Amino acid sequence: MFVSIDFCLVPIGVGTSLSSYIKECIEVIKKEGLSYELGANGTAIEGDWERVFECVRKCHEKIHEKGAPRIYTTMKVNTRTDKEQKFTDKVKSVLGKYLKEKVMMIMILISLLKNQNLHIING
**How would you write 41-99 as a 3-class SS string?**
CEEEEEEEHHHHHHHHHHHHHHHHHCCCCEEEEEEEEEECCCCCCCHHHHHHHHHHHHH
- pLDDT less than 70: residues of the chain: 116-123
Q: What 3-state class would DSSP assign to 108? A: helix
Question: What pLDDT is recorded for position 120?
Answer: 54
Q: What is the CATH number of domain 2-83?
A: 3.30.70.930
Of 14, 26, 15, 10, nearest in space to 66 by CA: 14
Render pLDDT for 17-27 as a digit per residue (tens, 0 to 9). 999 999 999 99
pTM assigned to the model: 0.72
d(CA 122, CA 10): 67
Q: Give the start-to-end residue ranges of the domains of the chain.
A: 2-83, 86-123
